[in-house]
Structure 1
Amino acid sequence: MSSGKEPANGTSGTVRRRTSTRSVTLRDVAAHAGVSSQTVSRVLRIPDEVAPHTRARVEEAIRECGYVPNLAARNLASNRSKIVATVIPSLSASVFSETLTGLSDVLAPEGYQLLLGYTDYDDEREEALIRSLVGRRPDGIVMTGAVHRETIVAMLRTARIPVVETWDWTDTPLDVLVGFSNERAMYEMVCQLHGAGYRRPCFVGSLPAGDHRARRRLAGFRRAAAEHWPGREPRVVDASGHPLTLESGARLLDVARGAHPEADVLVFSTDIFANGALLAAARRGLRVPEDIAVTGFGDFELSRMLHPGLTTVALPNATIGREAATLLLRRMRGERPTTRTIDLGFEIRRRGSA
């Protein structure tokens, strides 16, 4: 009859499971693998310095025991959290998910995890979010945009955490910046529309106080309009009361055509609105671009699949993430950047909508 006791060396294959009062420890894993605790620790910290057959046995024991290292204790000892905080304005836009993928592709192999927060284009919410994230002492922060409240700037400078700003442009970044000029991108779009023969453009975009990038796109539209049609008041439809959805794009098509029936091209600040307008135009029997032309900003996947395809500003979404992560790794290692700004540019993609 069995006594019910586990062998001290753990060789029977019995695994000590987590109970309500006790978690599996490194010592449990060592006993299960038949090695020392120091060997298990080396496998976790410097696996390349452990013989392959021993490493495989320890890794199998870790899986069987369900052991999870106490990263908080380890990070406290090393004064490193291995966390990079990431601040984006919206969870609904695919362009930001591509940037997050680029970040993860570079940071994950180095042992870093992303801690994600979003602002919903609200400056007050951004300040509260940054305060909360800084309190968790991440090793680095990646932010969307280059315009922030003075309280946020002071907070980040006091914390002395490496910061990479993205998706915008400034000659005086908080720390380092990887992005492009929203103002110049929209200016180039309108200039190309003028060259294609359009004479009555109408800007359509959401302009809440916290969406500084949309306001810079409007500034680019206004600069191009003043250059090509001097003395005329630019046509602008503020979509701030509409959520960032395809359905809103459909409604804004009607709003813009009602407010400016003479407009020959609707210049949307985002592909989300523009794609919604394109789909609605087809349902309403409008010919695009003959009856009304449409352009966007972002080059989302759907923009390439619609008929006609959407003319838009294409951005290096994933490259922004990879370059920002590479630069942030150097900053987190204490290296001085050779440059504080990296301009990845943009491309005007001409398709059938304009």
Structure 2
Amino acid sequence: MKKQPPRPLTLRDVSEASGVSEMTVSRVLRNRGDVSVATREKVLNAAKQMGYVPNKIAGALASQRVNLVAVIIPSMSNMVFPEVMTGINRVLETSSLQPVVGITDYLPEKEEKVLYEMLSWRPSGVIIAGLEHSDPCRAMLRAAGIPVVEIMDTDGTPIDAAVGISHRRAGREMGRAILRAGYRKIGFLGTTLGADHRARKRFEGFTEALAKGGVEIAETEFYSKGSALGKGREITQTIMTRRPDLDCLYFSNDMIGAGGLLWMMEQGYDIPGKVGLAGFNDVQLLQGLPRKLATMDSCREEIGSRAAQIILDRLERDEMVVEDTSKVELSPKISFGDTLRM
């Protein structure tokens, strides 16, 4: 004889197990209403022992929203975004909201699909990476009627709110620091700039600062697919073989910068005396390198926490429209480490 699957538990089951009314059970589980401490503990203990989980869909039918925050990011393999998620989780764990993550792989068409699917579940808010989106994505975000926070970048006009850094400013500041250190034959190594808008903006700010100092980029080397140590070693060897006279390399991120540093140390380069190196992101995983790579912090965890807090604050106030102050620009700082002359 086939065994019947168990039916879902209901408020009535918890009511019978705890000996209180269904209305009281509902108040306790929603943390609403005036219920004594003893009754609350009785209900919660009964629900826990039974394995009862509230039916959020039923509540969502009435409110048209579920207690989820859609977090749409390009990658989880990039070391940047797990730290952003840490900041988001730290804030949301104090509330009834839960983040649910969608990955776009830096592809506009995939971002459209992920956003469409997530909005169909009627989340309470959206946190989405970047300010550049397709027209369909922008239309969906504007029409969603929920708080939308674009993160990582402030070089542009947000749909609703934005938290991040100015990548053009970050590039300019690193360019000025490299010039002040006396380097003049400078190479740039980074990801293909078409899909990664933030890396492109840093490159633009960097070249702008160099131009104001009367210096042009001497050489570039671009790559696609992955930001691993091996890729950094490979492209550093390529650019230095082609232009052995370079005296400074600026990497679009720390992971390839670390690979470049390891290769150059193996080859016996005088760092930072003859050749300076700098990256971006201040990835903590790389703190164990033989030398600390010069870098700039991208404020990842703070970006996540500030974005999540905007969502919570807006929902508490039930405000769907924000003021001009909704763009929060954080200020990263350069760490010179052991690979740039001071």
TM over 0.5: yes
Deviation of 1:193 (Å): 0.8
Conservation of the 8 A alpha-carbon contact between 2:186 and 2:217 = no
Deviation of 1:42 (Å): 1.3
Q: 2:8 aligns with which of 9, 23, 29?
A: 23
C-alpha separation between the residues in 2 aligned to 1:67 and 1:19? Answer: 19
Q: 1:162 aligns with which of 134, 147, 159?
A: 147
- Which residue of 2 is the match for residue 55 of structure 1? 40
- Which residue of 2 is the match for residue 236 of structure 1? 220
Give the structure with higher Rg (CA).
1
Deviation of 1:47 (Å): 5.8
Which shifted more, 281-290 or 257-266? Answer: 281-290
What letter is aligned with 1:323?
A: R
- Which residue of 1 is the match for residue 248 of structure 2? 265
Give the gaps of 5 or more residues in structure 1: 1-17
- The residue correspondences of 1:109-128 to structure 2 (distance < 5 A) are 109-128=94-113
- The residue correspondences of 1:149-298 to structure 2 (distance < 5 A) are 149-230=134-215, 232=216, 234-240=218-224, 242-298=225-281
What letter is aligned with 2:327?
A: T
From the superposition, tell whether residues 225 and 307 of structure 1 become closer, same or farther in structure 2 (CA, over 3 Å). same
Which shifted more, 105-114 or 18-27? Answer: 18-27
What letter is aligned with 1:248?
A: K
- Which residue of 2 is the match for residue 142 of structure 1? 127
Is 2:337 the partner of 1:351? yes
C-alpha separation between the residues in 1 aligned to 2:164 and 2:298? Answer: 9
Which shifted more, 210-219 or 117-126? Answer: 117-126
Conservation of the 8 A alpha-carbon contact between 1:47 and 1:55 = no
Conservation of the 8 A alpha-carbon contact between 2:104 and 2:111 = yes
What letter is aligned with 2:214?
A: W
Q: Equivalent residue of 1:152, what SS? A: helix
Conservation of the 8 A alpha-carbon contact between 1:222 and 1:234 = no
C-alpha separation between the residues in 2 aligned to 1:323 and 1:337? Answer: 15
C-alpha separation between the residues in 2 aligned to 1:260 and 1:120? Answer: 33
Conservation of the 8 A alpha-carbon contact between 1:122 and 1:209 = no
- Which residue of 2 is the match for residue 41 of structure 1? 26
From the superposition, tell whether residues 250 and 213 of structure 1 become closer, same or farther in structure 2 (CA, over 3 Å). same
Q: Equivalent residue of 1:109, what SS? A: coil
Conservation of the 8 A alpha-carbon contact between 2:218 and 2:246 = no
Q: 2:288 aligns with which of 305, 325, 334?
A: 305
From the superposition, tell whether residues 78 and 286 of structure 1 become closer, same or farther in structure 2 (CA, over 3 Å). same
What letter is aligned with 1:277?
A: G
From the superposition, tell whether residues 311 and 61 of structure 1 become closer, same or farther in structure 2 (CA, over 3 Å). same
C-alpha separation between the residues in 2 aligned to 1:26 and 1:197? Answer: 72
C-alpha separation between the residues in 2 aligned to 1:276 and 1:48? Answer: 58
C-alpha separation between the residues in 1 aligned to 2:234 and 2:274? Answer: 17
C-alpha separation between the residues in 1 aligned to 2:189 and 2:234? Answer: 11
C-alpha separation between the residues in 2 aligned to 1:330 and 1:342? Answer: 14
Which shifted more, 329-338 or 214-223? Answer: 329-338
Deviation of 1:280 (Å): 2.8
Conservation of the 8 A alpha-carbon contact between 1:164 and 1:175 = yes
C-alpha separation between the residues in 1 aligned to 2:53 and 2:96? Answer: 15
Which shifted more, 274-283 or 136-145? Answer: 274-283
Q: Equivalent residue of 1:117, what SS? A: strand
- The residue correspondences of 1:89-128 to structure 2 (distance < 5 A) are 89-128=74-113
Deviation of 1:305 (Å): 3.1
C-alpha separation between the residues in 2 aligned to 1:36 and 1:196? Answer: 74
Deviation of 1:196 (Å): 0.7
From the superposition, tell whether residues 48 and 270 of structure 1 become closer, same or farther in structure 2 (CA, over 3 Å). farther
- The residue correspondences of 1:58-73 to structure 2 (distance < 5 A) are 58-73=43-58
| CA RMSD, 1 decimal | 2.0
Q: Equivalent residue of 2:306, what SS? A: helix
Deviation of 1:329 (Å): 2.2
| CA deviations over 1:2-33 (Å, ceiling 9, x no partner) | xxxxxxxxxxxxxxxx9605122221122122
Query: What number of residue pairs does the alignment pair up?
Result: 335
C-alpha separation between the residues in 2 aligned to 1:206 and 1:300? Answer: 17
Is 2:118 the partner of 1:133? yes
Conservation of the 8 A alpha-carbon contact between 1:201 and 1:267 = yes
Conservation of the 8 A alpha-carbon contact between 2:188 and 2:217 = no
What letter is aligned with 1:168?
A: D
From the superposition, tell whether residues 306 and 25 of structure 1 become closer, same or farther in structure 2 (CA, over 3 Å). same
C-alpha separation between the residues in 1 aligned to 2:109 and 2:243? Answer: 34
Give the gaps of 5 or more residues in structure 2: none
Conservation of the 8 A alpha-carbon contact between 2:66 and 2:124 = yes
Conservation of the 8 A alpha-carbon contact between 2:252 and 2:279 = yes
Once the two structures are aligned, what percentage of the paired residues are identical?
A: 38
Conservation of the 8 A alpha-carbon contact between 1:246 and 1:276 = yes
